[in-house]
A and B are shown apart, each in its own frame.
Chain A
Amino acid sequence: MSATGNRRYVSSDRRVREDRRFVAGKGHFVADIELPNMKHVAVVTCPHAAARIKAIDKRAALAMPGVHYIVDGAELAAATLPLMTGLDTPNVPRRPLALDVARYSGEWVAAVVADTRALAEDAAEAIEIDYEALPFVLDAEQALEQGSPLVHEAHGSNVLLDKTFVWGEVEKDFAASPRKLSLRVKWGRSSTVPIETFGVVASWDPWRDMLDVHASIQMPRYADQIGIALKIPATSVRVHHDVDVGGSYGVKRGIKHTVLCGYLSRRLGFPVRLIEDRLENMRGGDAHGPERLFDVEVAFADSGIVRSMKMRALENVGAYAGRSPFQLGKPIGAIVGPYKINSVEYRAIAVVTNKTTQDAVRGFGQGPTNLALERTMDEVANVLGLDPLEVRKRNLIRHDEFPYLIPSGTTYDSGNYETVIAKVLADAGYEDLKAERDRLRAEGKLAGIGIAACLEPSGGNATFEALLNPAITTSTFMDSCRINIDGMGAITATMHTPSSGQGHETLLGTVIGEVLQVDPDVVHVTRPDSLNSLPSGTPVGSRMAIMLGGAAFHAANRLKAKLTAIGAHDLGIPLERAVYDAGTVSDRDAPQNKRAWADLVQIAFRNYHRMPQDFEPGLAVEHVYQVPTGGTLPTPDGRVQMYPCFSFEFHLLLVSIDPELGRPEIVRYRLGHDCGTQINPKIVRGMTMGGIAHGIGAALYEEFAYNDDGQLIAQSFMDYLLPSSHEVPAVDIVDHETPSPHTVLGQKGSGESGYLGAPAAIANAVNDAIRGLGISINTLPIKVSKLGDLIAQAQEKTKVKKGN
Chain B
Amino acid sequence: MRIELNVNGTVHEIEVEPRTTLLDCLRDRLDLKGAHAGCEHGVCGACTVLFDGAAVRSCLMFAAQATGSAITTIEGVTPGPGELSPIQDAFCETHGLQCGYCTPAMIMAAHALLAGNPAPTREEIVEAISGNICRCTGYAQIVEAIALAAERMRGVNRPRSLTE
Q: Footprint of B on A, CB under 8 Å?
A: 15-16, 18-27, 29, 31-32, 118, 192-197, 244-249, 275, 277-278, 500-503, 682-683, 685-694, 716-718, 722, 724-726, 728, 730-731, 754
Mark interface residues in B107-128 (1 if CB within 8 Å of A CB, else 0): 1000000000000001000110
Whether the Cβ atoms of B141 and A724 lie closer than 8 Å is: no
Name 6 A/B residue pairs within 8 A (Cβ), A-sorted: A22-B104, A195-B46, A687-B98, A717-B39, A717-B44, A717-B133
* Chain B residues whose C-beta falls within 8 Å of the C-beta of A722 in the assembled complex: 44, 133, 135
Residues of chain B with a CB closer than 8 A to A245's CB: 99
- Contacting residues of chain B (125-142) with chain A, CB-CB under 8 angstroms: 126-127, 129-142
Is there a chain A Cβ closer than 8 Å to B64's Cβ? no
Given contacts A247-B101, A503-B98, A731-B140, contact A694 B135 (CB under 8 A): yes
- In the complex, what distance in Å separates the CA atom of A683 from the CA atom of B131? 24
- In the assembled complex, the Cα of A726 lies from the Cα of B101 at a distance in Å of 20
Known contacts A15-B92, A685-B141, A716-B41: A26-B34 contact under CB 8 Å: yes
B141 to chain A, nearest CB (A): 6
Q: How far is the CA of A277 from the CA of B38 in the complex (A)?
A: 8
Given the contacts A19-B100, A244-B99, A246-B100, A686 and B135 also touching, CB distance less than 8 Å: no
B69 interface residue (CB < 8 Å to A): no
Given contacts A246-B36, A689-B141, A724-B132, 19 further A-B contacts (CB under 8 A): A15-B93, A22-B99, A23-B104, A24-B78, A24-B88, A25-B75, A27-B101, A29-B33, A29-B101, A31-B27, A194-B101, A195-B134, A196-B46, A248-B99, A501-B136, A683-B98, A689-B139, A692-B138, A731-B138
- Knowing A196-B38, A718-B41 are in contact, say whether A16-B33 is a contact too (CB < 8 A): no
Q: How many A-B residue pairs have CB under 8 A?
A: 183
Closest to B104 in A: A25
Q: In the complex the two chains form, is A25's CB within 8 Å of B138's CB?
A: no
B95 within 8 A of A: yes
Q: Does B103 sit within 8 A of A, measured CB to CB?
A: yes
In the complex, A277→B21 CA distance in Å? 14
Q: Write the chain B residue with the least CB distance to A721.
A: B43
Question: How far, in Å, is B49 (CB) from chain A's closest CB?
Answer: 11
A690-B101 CB under 8 A given contacts A23-B92, A246-B36: no
Closest to A15 in B: B92
Task: Find residues 37-66 in chain B having any chain A CB closer than 8 Å to their own CB.
Answer: 37-41, 43-44, 46
B74 sits at the interface (CB 8 A):
yes
Across-interface contacts of A22 in B (CB, < 8 A) = 97, 99-100, 103-104
B44 in complex: contacting residue of A25, A118, A195, CB < 8 Å: A195
Q: Identify the 6 closest CB pairs spanning chains A and B, nearest first.
A: A25-B34, A22-B100, A246-B101, A501-B99, A501-B98, A689-B138
B133: A residues at CB distance < 8 A: 195, 717, 722, 724
Q: For the complex, what is the distance from the CA of A454 to the CA of B98, rounded to whole Å?
A: 24
Check A247–B39 contact: CB distance below 8 A. Answer: no
Report if A690-B35 is in contact (Cβ < 8 Å); known contacts: A27-B101, A194-B99, A682-B94: no
Most interface-central of B33, B41, B46, B100 (chain A CB within 10 A):
B100
Give complex CA distance A25, B88 in Å: 10
A683 to B103 CA separation, bound complex (whole angstroms): 16
**Shortest distance from the beta carbon of B134 to any chain A beta carbon, whole Å:** 7
Instruction: Decide yes or no whether B7 CB sits under 8 A from chain A.
Output: no
Bound form: Cα–Cα A548–B126 in Å: 35
B92 with A247: CB separation less than 8 A? no
User: Which of A23, A32, A686, A725 interacts with B129 by CB under 8 Å?
Assistant: A725
Question: Given A24-B74, A31-B36, A682-B94, does the pair A192, B19 have CB atoms closer than 8 Å?
Answer: no
B5 within 8 Å of A (CB atoms)? no
Tell me the bound Cα distance from A355 to B122 in angstroms.
41
CB distance from B163 to the nearest CB of A (A): 21
Does A18 contact B19, Cβ atoms closer than 8 Å?
no
| CB–CB B38/A195 < 8 A | yes
What's the Cα separation between A683 and B137 when bound, in Å? 10
User: Residues on B close to A: CB < 8 A?
Assistant: 17, 19, 27, 32-41, 43-44, 46, 73-75, 78, 84, 88-89, 91-95, 97-104, 107, 122, 126-127, 129-143
With A246-B100, A694-B135: A725-B126 Cβ-Cβ less than 8 Å: yes
Given contacts A717-B39, A718-B43, contact A247 B136 (CB under 8 A): yes
For residue A762, give the distance in angstroms from its CB to the closest CB of chain B: 14
Q: How far is the CA of A118 from the CA of B40 in the complex (A)?
A: 13
Report Cα–Cα, A730/B126, bound state, in Å.
11
Q: Which of A32, A196, A685, A722 has the most CB of B within 10 A?
A: A196
Closest to A275 in B: B37
A686 touching B136, Cβ below 8 Å: yes
Among residues of A, the one whose C-beta sits closest to the C-beta of B140 is: A689
| CB-CB nearest in chain B for A31 | B37
What's the nearest-Cβ distance from chain B to residue A136, in Å?
28
CA distance A754 to B98 in the complex (A): 16
Q: Are B36 and A244 in contact (CB under 8 A)?
A: no
Contact of B40 among A18, A32, A277, A682 (CB under 8 A): A277
Q: Which residue of B lies closest to A25 (CB)?
A: B34
CA distance A731 to B138 in the complex (A): 10
A31, A195, A244, A685 — which one has the most chain B CB atoms within 10 A of its CB?
Answer: A195
- Across-interface contacts of B34 in A (CB, < 8 A): 24-26
CB contacts (< 8 Å) of A249 on chain B: these are: 135
Known: A19-B100, A20-B84. A195 touches B135 (CB 8 A): yes
Shortest C-beta distance, A681 to chain B (Å), equals: 9
Q: How many Å lie between the Cα of A103 and that of B137 in the bound state?
A: 36
Pick the contact of B138: A23, A196, A754 (CB < 8 A).
A754
Chain B residues whose C-beta falls within 8 Å of the C-beta of A23 in the assembled complex: 84, 88-89, 91-92, 97, 100, 103-104, 107
Whether the pair B101, A196 counts as a contact (CB closer than 8 A) is: yes
B-side contacts of A503, CB under 8 Å:
98
Tell me the complex Cα distance, A692–B134, Å.
Answer: 13
CB contacts (< 8 Å) of B75 on chain A: these are: 24-25
- Shortest distance in angstroms between B83's beta carbon and chain A's nearest beta carbon? 9
A100 to chain B minimum Cβ distance, whole angstroms, is 32
Residues of B within 8 A of A692 (CB): 138
Q: How far is the CB of B87 from chain A (nearest CB, A)?
A: 8
Contact A25 B95 (CB under 8 A): no
Residue of A nearest to B122 (CB): A730
Beta-carbon nearest neighbor of A716 in chain B? B41
- A246-B101, A716-B39 known; A192-B135 Cβ under 8 A: yes
For B142, the chain A residues whose CB sits under 8 A away are: 725
B74 proximity list for chain A (CB < 8 A): 24-25
Q: How far is the CA of A691 from the CA of B143 in the complex (A)?
A: 17
Contact of A118 among B19, B102, B107 (CB under 8 A): B19
Expressed in whole angstroms, the minimum distance between the Cβ of B50 and any Cβ of chain A is 13
